[in-house]
Amino acid sequence: GQQVMQIPQYQHVQEGEDFTTYCNSSTTLSNIQWYKQRPGGHPVFLIQLVKSGEVKKQKRLTFQFGEAKKNSSLHITATQTTDVGTYFCAGREAGTALIFGKGTTLSVSS
């Protein structure tokens, strides 16, 4: 069955440093979504990527979808303490359920 893997599992950075998390799927995806979950909270949608090679930006966050639509990345430039949380990618094959990766937990020290 479909599997979605994320690395690293944990990442600690100093405030101002950059951060990247990577997502890989065992199958080709129709789309991929990214979510953020703060400690004690529930996952909150960040963005969806649909097209092969697509790149989207949200302020300091840059999201990429691989050419083969099997991998994706989230890059945060100049992290801030408000970026703390766990970032999940979630992939969907055509007509199937949304499958989440295990997430990357980001901690930021000031």
Partner 1 sequence: DTGVSQNPRHKITKRGQNVTFRCDPISEHNRLYWYRQTLGQGPEFLTYFQNEAQLEKSRLLSDRFSAERPKGSFSTLEIQRTEQGDSAMYLCASSKDSLTEAFFGQGTRLTVV
Query: In the complex, which residues of this chain contact partner 1 (CB under 8 A)?
Result: 1, 6, 31, 33, 42-45, 48, 50, 88, 90, 92, 95-103, 105
Shorter beta-carbon distance to partner 1: residue 90 or 108: 90
Strands, E assignment, the chain: 4-7, 10-14, 19-25, 31-37, 44-49, 55-58, 61-65, 71-76, 85-92, 99-100, 104-109
Contact 87/34 with Cβ under 8 angstroms? Answer: yes
User: Shortest CA distance to 35 belongs to which of 70, 85, 108, 97?
Assistant: 85
Shorter beta-carbon distance to partner 1: residue 42 or 59: 42
- What minimum distance in Å lies between the beta carbon of 19 and partner 1? 18
Shorter beta-carbon distance to partner 1: residue 52 or 80: 52
- What minimum distance in Å lies between the beta carbon of 20 and partner 1? 18
60 burial level (CB within 10 Å; 0-12, 13-18, 19+): middle
- What minimum distance in Å lies between the beta carbon of 67 and partner 1? 21
Q: What is the CA radius of gyration of the chain?
A: 13
- What minimum distance in Å lies between the beta carbon of 16 and partner 1? 27
Shorter beta-carbon distance to partner 1: residue 45 or 53: 45
